[in-house]
Amino acid sequence: MAQDQTQERPLRILHVVRAPVGGIFRHILDVANGQIERGHYVGIVADSLTGGTRADAALAEIAPRLKLGVHRVAIRREPRFADVTVWASIIGLIWKLKPDVLHGHGAKAGAYVRLRPRSKKTIRVYTPHGGSLHYPLDTLKGKFYSQLERTLKDSTDLFLFESAFARNTYQRTVGVPSGLVRCVFNGVTAEEFEPVPKADDATDIVYVGEFRHIKGADLLIDAVAKLRADGKPVTLTLGGDGEETETLKAQVKRLSLGDAVRFIGHVKARYGFSKGSLLVVPSRGDSMPYVVIEAAAAGVPMIAANVGGIPEIFDSHTDALFAPSNVAAMADAIKAALDDPSATAARAQKLRERISEHFSQSAMVEGVLSGYRDAFAER
């Protein structure tokens, strides 16, 4: 297929993802909607075991626009023999839907897509979204996933990394791919640049995101405990849910922080932002987290761990970053931000201007489609 042909007729694009939750799912929905608006035929394959009612509702909302449909398959997170059956089911869907573009998101879906034999009519695209890149190479999982990535590296027509960090980490730990490599930043919509008014019941600090070990909510709770022990009686709102919910609640109880920390469950990001004077992103690892881009677009005062692709978002605003997995450094950064609210607000405004220039949803969609076209041209 020549490059101009991809522009003359609609592409048939199938996005495949394991868990329809979090930033990775938001990315897929945003890209899919943008591709549909540009006249392409899109479908989504996603795990049927995770996501709950939120995923069901989001997929039901976009389903009428998906000419290739929504398809749910039971995809477990950990490798298992049943993966062969799942892969066969996905191959059956591919045979039926005849996509021009197979776009796998995350390690497992990326593996399913790239295990399909090479075709003259179809390109295989992979966006890691961090995924397997977060596992240390000296761990069993790290060794397994890095070997899997090496095996599939040259079965990929196009790599679309959402950050230079992800690209560089991949090339350092796996190798330089023979296929095309592009970096396309995640992006937000024009509506997300509207300011978020602070709620009357806002606490000093707020966290918005999944409750998973890599996201570091436990570190933030420890930082709150440290600040209070040091004489600064800060309060915290935790907006989110996930596999560590009960563990985090037990941690709050153990540290006698019941009067200082509240859980408000899963909430939409902008509602969550309103519940605190300062957003803290305590991640142990991240690639290009949407919560940071969304908060920055809305001008929300924020500090974040200096990890993964987060510094690419903040650029020169390094005073908002603290050492990752370091409770003392996080506590110091929280105190500094709260003690000088005018400087924190001024930094937030400057960061908002940067997001407007470099992280729009339109630029993200065009970047993805441009990558597809270049991959077809290479054929």
Task: Domain count for the chain, please give it.
Answer: 2
Q: Are 179 and 247 found together in one domain?
A: no
Q: Are 226 and 170 found together in one domain?
A: no
Q: Are 246 and 259 found together in one domain?
A: yes
Q: Are 210 and 183 found together in one domain?
A: no
Q: Are 154 and 265 found together in one domain?
A: no
Q: Are 123 and 164 found together in one domain?
A: yes
Render each residue's pLDDT in the chain as its tens digit; 379 residues.
Answer: 444 444 568 999 999 999 998 889 999 999 999 999 999 999 999 999 999 999 999 999 999 999 999 999 999 888 788 889 999 999 999 999 999 999 999 988 999 999 988 888 999 999 988 665 656 666 666 677 778 888 899 889 999 999 899 899 889 888 998 889 999 999 999 999 999 999 999 999 999 999 999 999 999 999 999 999 999 999 999 999 999 999 999 999 999 999 999 999 999 999 999 999 999 999 999 888 999 999 999 999 999 999 999 999 999 999 999 999 999 999 999 999 999 999 999 999 999 999 998 899 999 999 999 999 999 998 7
Q: Are 16 and 85 found together in one domain?
A: yes
Q: Are 97 and 8 found together in one domain?
A: yes
Q: Whole domain around residue 168: which residue ranges? A: 3-187+360-378
Could you tell me where the DSSP H helices lie in the chain? 3-8, 22-37, 52-62, 83-97, 107-114, 140-152, 164-173, 217-229, 245-254, 269-273, 290-297, 310-314, 327-339, 341-358, 361-378
- Dihedral over alpha carbons 237, 241, 242, 247 (to 10 degrees): 50
Q: Are 87 and 196 found together in one domain?
A: no
83-135 pLDDT per residue, tens: 899 999 999 999 999 999 999 999 889 999 999 888 889 999 999 886 656 56
Phi and psi at residue 135, to the nearest 5°: -80, 125
CA distance 241 to 267: 9
CA distance 243 to 233: 28
Give me the CATH number covering residue 214: 3.40.50.2000
Place of tokens 């909430």: 267
C-alpha distances in Å from residue 265, one per residue of 27, 262, 287? 22, 9, 24
Angle between helices 107-114 and 83-97 (to 10 degrees): 60
Q: Are 257 and 326 found together in one domain?
A: yes
Q: Are 29 and 174 found together in one domain?
A: yes
